[in-house]
Amino acid sequence: MTRAETLLWRYLKAGRLAGLAFRRQTPMGHYIADFVAHSCKLIVELDGESHDFEERIRHDEQRDQWFAFRGYRVLRFTNDDVMKNLEGVVLSIVEAAEQAAPLSLTLPRKGGGNPSSNASLTNGESGASDGVGDA
């Protein structure tokens, strides 16, 4: 790991960042994600100088498209970004994770349903009338 990756990993590991469980150097298909939080489908990539070449840029774009096709959002930073603005990088990751977080659904307790509704789930009929077509 580069120095920047080590520094960022200190923030990402063990759920320290917004309680997210990140994994590092995770194989996904033919690629390896630098850091991934599967719960919110977020991947963080850190690129060094080797990513400045046209061939490498094309490879990175293909990789990002492959991740995106599977529902993952990819955030890219440079090692310089982390070394010079770690707080900004961490804030960007937190914001992206919050945007991607699945909605929390509250389900009724067993047998709790909606007691004021006369709807029947088994026969598709409803006891409520909308006034249209009533005789």
Percentage of the chain modeled with pLDDT above 90: 51
Threshold 0.75, pTM exceeds: no
54 against 134, higher pLDDT: 54
Domain that residue 50 falls in: 3-100
Q: Do 23 and 62 touch, CB atoms closer than 8 A? A: no
The answer to the question of residue 41 being in a domain is yes
Domain total of the chain: 1
The answer to the question of residue 122 being in a domain is no
Q: Is the pLDDT of residue 108 over 80?
A: no
pLDDT of residue 111: 54
* Range in 63-67, 86-90, 129-133 with the lowest mean pLDDT: 129-133
If 0-12 CB within 10 Å is exposed, 13-18 middle and 19+ buried, where does residue 133 land? exposed
pLDDT of residue 11: 87
The answer to the question of residue 51 being in a domain is yes
pLDDT of residue 117: 44
Report the CATH number at residue 51.
Answer: 3.40.960.10
Place of tokens 């919050």: 98
The answer to the question of residue 113 being in a domain is no
109 against 92, higher pLDDT: 92
d(CA 53, CA 61): 12
Please state the rounded mean pLDDT for residues 127-131.
46
Q: Is the pLDDT of residue 131 over 60?
A: no
134 against 68, higher pLDDT: 68
